[in-house]
Structures are given as structure tokens and as C-alpha cells.
Amino acid sequence: MDGGVIHSASIRDGLRPGTRIFPFCFRRAVWYPIDVLAIEETAERTADRARLRAILLERSLRFGDFVLSSGAKSRYYVDVRQTSLHPEGALLIAKLLLPALRASGAEAVGGLTLGADPIVGALTVWSELQGRGLSGFLVRKEAKGHGAARRIEGPFHPGIPVAIVDDVITKGGSALNAMEAAREAEADVRLVACVVDRGEGGAEEFAARGVPFHALFHIREFLS
């Protein structure tokens, strides 16, 4: 791969703007800056990941004719909410995503309603049980027309380092929507993370905006 990701102040504390981050590691079909997202693969993590994959296969993967939120047509659909709203599935997602959020320096986690909602809830609880809780926030698709007329709901303040999460990334539209809303509210977006990456351009969209991306699974792990 040519070049590297140009570091901005939001990607990693301690690096000067303009610094190129090397090397890159191709892992599960997604590019990761390994100094930001290197995660130790313990026996427990491997077992948790295998169990979550089994739950996703059982509860979330469907075959047929579908139209995705991006407008694209697909012969399969990954309904991660069937897993993220399942008690064991929610716990495993939180356990597996939390190390990447910690590595990014995020202090809050949020995403676009509705796909992100159960993941945000699980992460706030699990992180608190691990001794250092992340606050959560939810991003509306558009500002409500009454009350405080906010797009972002939950504990949130300018300058807070955040991670954006989603259940499935295709072209990245929902996560980009949430990311831009967070940036407009002056948050420091450190990471975008998801459960399943369909590998259809989302990772490249985040890279173009200088934001690291982490997926627990690539869709090939379910279709092979």
C-alpha cells in the first residue's frame, strides 16, 4: 500500500499532525493502523469470537432478495439486531469491541439510531463493569422538532474523544452520518467500529477521512 494515513490530532495523542502512521496490517480484509488497533488475541477472546460468530450465523444471517439501507440489492442480509438484542450476543459484542475503543482513547461511544442503540447500551454497561465506564450517546437521523431540538442524545460535550459504532457497515453511510454529527458538535472522533463489515467501500470512506476502522468480522467469514 502506498503512503499511509496522515495523522490529525484526533487519531492518536502524542503524534504530531502530518505524521504518517506505519505500518498497516491487512487483517480480516480490513486495513488497520496497527499502532492504534493492535489487540491481543487471548484464548478467551478467540473463544468469545467463535461463539459470537455462531450466534450471528444462527440468528442474523438470512438469504433471499433484499434492498439494503444504501439502496443496493443483495442476496443476503445480516440482521445484527437479532444478535445485539440477544443477551449473550450483546455481552459478546461489548466484550470484543471494548479493547479497540480503549486503544483509541475514546471516552464515549455512540452511533446512529437504530442499529447502534443496543451496541452502545451494552458497551456502556460492560465498560463500567470493567472499572472504567464509557458514556453513551445516540445520534438521531435528523434533529427533533420539539424540546431541545438536539440530534445527539445523552452525555456529550465539545472536545470529548468518541468512538462511533454500528452493527453492519456496507458503504458506511450510517456511521458517516453519526460521525459528521459528532464532529459538528465538536467531538473528537477517534474510531469507527462495527460487528460485521460487508466490504463494500465503508472502510475506504473512513480512511479517506482519517479515521481508523475496526470490524469484528468480515462478511467472508460467514459466506465461505
How is the chain split into domains, by residue range?
A: 39-223
What element of type H or E holds 163? strand 161-169
Best CA proximity match to 182, nearest among 10, 16, 6, 9 = 10
Residue 13: the pLDDT is 40
Of residues 144, 214, 212, the one with CA closest to residue 7: 212
Q: Which residues contact 14 (CB under 8 A, 6 or more apart)?
A: none
Model pLDDT, residue 6: 31
Distance between CA atoms of 101 and 127, rounded to whole angstroms? 10
pLDDT tens-place values along the chain, 224 residues long: 333 333 333 333 433 334 333 233 333 333 444 334 668 889 999 999 999 999 999 999 999 999 987 788 999 999 999 999 999 999 999 999 999 999 999 999 999 999 999 999 999 999 999 999 999 999 999 876 655 668 999 999 999 999 999 999 999 999 999 999 999 999 999 999 999 999 999 999 999 999 999 999 999 999 97
Q: Residues near 34 by Cβ (< 8 Å), separated by ≥ 6? A: 23, 24, 25
> Span 39-223: which CATH code?
3.40.50.2020
pLDDT for the residue numbered 7: 31
φ/ψ (deg, to 5) at 100: -65, -40
What pLDDT, on a 0 to 100 scale, did the predictor assign at position 71?
82
